[in-house]
């Protein structure tokens, strides 16, 4: 089946064709028609499977059809609730691209930025709102966001929202929206807690599960190298300099470590930037756009960028620190090898991270290929550094004394 075969508005088909979408992915094929038919949907599908389009296309079709008969009746017909601001903006962009030829009004409602522009949009009337919980309830309580006529509620990355403690927010939302509505529930994983919340929200839902035998994409090459914690930055420097024209996304454990890795790369003459919860929201958007465009080649981040964010052309994902939750490995490496692209995921594993590596391999059912280095090769990587400091361990000790905190590389 092709997108042109769906019974959707021709102007949506034109936009979809312009985006280069020909055939729906598995999740799109299984979800689009039930959503068009008005069914509730409970979908379990990993990030990177194309699930955003699976709800964008049918919800936009319904909105377009309604606007054909009531052109100036702009109110919140569809609410998409997501866990992160970056994901909200990304989904809004997909709606805008697919709905570019329609009169549908799209607005991302997020915190961390001034709310006045968002309020002005809501006053004029918005058909699709994509929002994070915090700002959503702020604007509801202020009376600017009215959901009493809502037709469709979409919960995307629902498992991540629950992990972040938003279950109360999700339940509180039910007080603001009609009981008679369509509910679309998308989650990368399913367990008892998620299932309980899901079945409290959906009614006689069509259940869809896209679960490949191997939860990591087949077009990603995986490898792991044993590296002492103190030496990880030298190995990252080596990878970057051997792939100077490539985009590389690096995951670390904490905000502090992200900033320190950026400084280490700076000393080696490598431009990079850090994105984490401590970075101003406008700056985070600016850095994401710079990385997407390729102006910035090396981005250091915490797990804030691990879920749902679509960054085209990421050559490699480096797990500078292994994640403590094994499922996060899947979300992290899913930033590369998207669509038909080939990707590379490499993990740095120190001695004390070996249990984390085993947990990842158990979770994925996939043994990550070790990258073998002899002592000479290992030493050469360290000796070839352009760090600019011959006695870097002494520098770390000095910083420890100054800050009163033990450095962890």
Which pLDDT does position 195 carry in this prediction? 86
Q: CA angle, 304 as apex, 128 and 260 as ends, to 5°? A: 145
- 3-class DSSP state for residue 313? coil
> Helix crossing, 354-364 with 326-333: angle to 10°?
70
Q: Rounded to two decimals, what is the model's pTM?
A: 0.73
Mind listing the pLDDT tens digit for each residue in 68-107? 988 889 999 999 999 888 889 989 999 999 999 999 999 9
Q: Which of 351, 319, 298 is nearest to 223 (CA)?
A: 319
CATH of domain 220-403: 3.40.50.300
| Tokens linked to 178 | 């009609």
Calculate the alpha carbon distances from 192 to 195, 196, 199, 355 in Å. Answer: 5, 6, 11, 26
What sections of 8-132 are H helices per DSSP?
Answer: 10-18, 26-36, 51-69, 85-98, 116-124
Tell me whether domains 3-210 and 220-403 share a fold: yes
- Is the pLDDT at 211 greater than 70? The verdict is no
CB 89 within 8 A of CB 110: yes
Work out the mean pLDDT of the chain and round it to a whole number: 88
Domain coordinates in residue numbering, the chain: 3-210, 220-403
pLDDT at residue 214 tops 60: no
Whole-number pLDDT of residue 257: 93
Flag the least confident range among 51-60, 205-214, 249-258, 279-288. Answer: 205-214
Residue 390 binned pLDDT confidence (cut-offs 50, 70, 90): very low
**pLDDT score, position 121:** 94
| CATH of region 3-210 | 3.40.50.300
Average the pLDDT over 145-174 and give the result: 87
The pair phi, psi for residue 120, each rounded to 5°, is -60, -40
Mind listing the pLDDT tens digit for each residue in 2-50?
Answer: 999 999 999 999 999 999 998 998 999 999 999 999 999 999 887 667 8
Q: What is the pLDDT of residue 54?
A: 95
Closest to 58 measured CA to CA, from 83, 84, 77: 77
Out of 21-30, 145-154, 212-221, least confident range: 212-221
Instruction: Tell me the two tokens of residue 271.
Output: 């431009």
Residue 8 per-residue DSSP state: S
State yes or no: pLDDT of 201 exceeds 70.
Answer: yes
CA 306 to chain CA centroid, Å, is 5
Q: How high is the pLDDT of residue 315?
A: 93
Average pLDDT over residues 62-72: 91
Please tell me the predicted confidence (pLDDT) of residue 401.
60
| CA–CA gap between residue 151 and residue 167 (Å, rounded) | 21
Q: Band the pLDDT of 282: cuts 50, 70, 90.
A: confident
Least confident piece of the model among 75-89, 144-158, 221-235, 300-314: 300-314
């Amino acid at each position: 089946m092709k997108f042109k075969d769906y019974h959707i508005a021709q102007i949506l088909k034109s936009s979809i064709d312009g985006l280069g979408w020909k055939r729906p992915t598995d999740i799109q094929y299984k979800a689009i028609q039930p959503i068009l038919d008005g069914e509730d949907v409970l979908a379990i599908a990993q990030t990177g499977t194309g699930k955003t389009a699976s709800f964008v296309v049918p919800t936009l079709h319904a909105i377009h059809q309604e606007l054909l008969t009531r052109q100036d009746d702009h109110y919140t017909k569809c609410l998409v609730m997501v866990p992160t601001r970056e994901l909200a903006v990304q989904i809004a962009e997909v709606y805008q691209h697919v709905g570019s030829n329609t009169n549908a009004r799209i607005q991302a409602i997020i915190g961390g930025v001034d709310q006045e522009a968002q309020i002005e949009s809501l006053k004029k009337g918005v058909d699709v709102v994509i929002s994070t919980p915090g700002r959503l309830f702020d604007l509801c309580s202020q009376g600017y966001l009215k959901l009493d006529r809502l037709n469709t509620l979409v919960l995307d990355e629902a498992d991540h929202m629950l992990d972040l403690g938003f279950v109360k927010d999700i339940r509180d939302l039910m007080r603001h929206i009609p009981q008679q509505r369509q509910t679309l529930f998308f989650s990368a994983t399913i367990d008892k807690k998620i299932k309980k919340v899901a079945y409290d929200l959906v009614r006689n839902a069509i259940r869809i599960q896209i679960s490949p035998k191997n939860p990591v994409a087949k077009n990603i090459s995986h490898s792991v190298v044993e590296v002492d914690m103190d030496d990880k930055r030298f190995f990252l420097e080596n990878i970057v300099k051997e792939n100077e024209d490539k985009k590389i996304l690096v995951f670390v454990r904490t905000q502090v470590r992200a900033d320190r890795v950026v400084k280490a790369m700076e000393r080696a003459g490598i431009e990079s930037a850090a994105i984490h919860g401590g970075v101003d929201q406008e700056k985070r958007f600016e850095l994401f756009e710079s990385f997407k465009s390729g102006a910035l080649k090396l981005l250091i981040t915490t797990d804030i960028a691990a879920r749902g964010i679509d960054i085209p052309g990421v050559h490699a994902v480096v797990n500078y620190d292994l994640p403590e939750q094994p499922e996060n490995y899947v979300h992290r490496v899913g930033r590369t090898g998207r669509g038909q692209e080939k990707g590379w995921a490499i993990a740095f594993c120190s001695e004390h991270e070996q249990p984390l590596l085993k947990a990842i391999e158990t979770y994925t059912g996939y043994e990550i290929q070790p990258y073998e280095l002899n002592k000479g090769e290992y030493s050469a990587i360290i000796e070839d550094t352009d760090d600019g400091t011959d006695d870097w361990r002494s520098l770390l000790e000095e910083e420890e004394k100054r800050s009163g905190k033990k450095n962890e590389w």
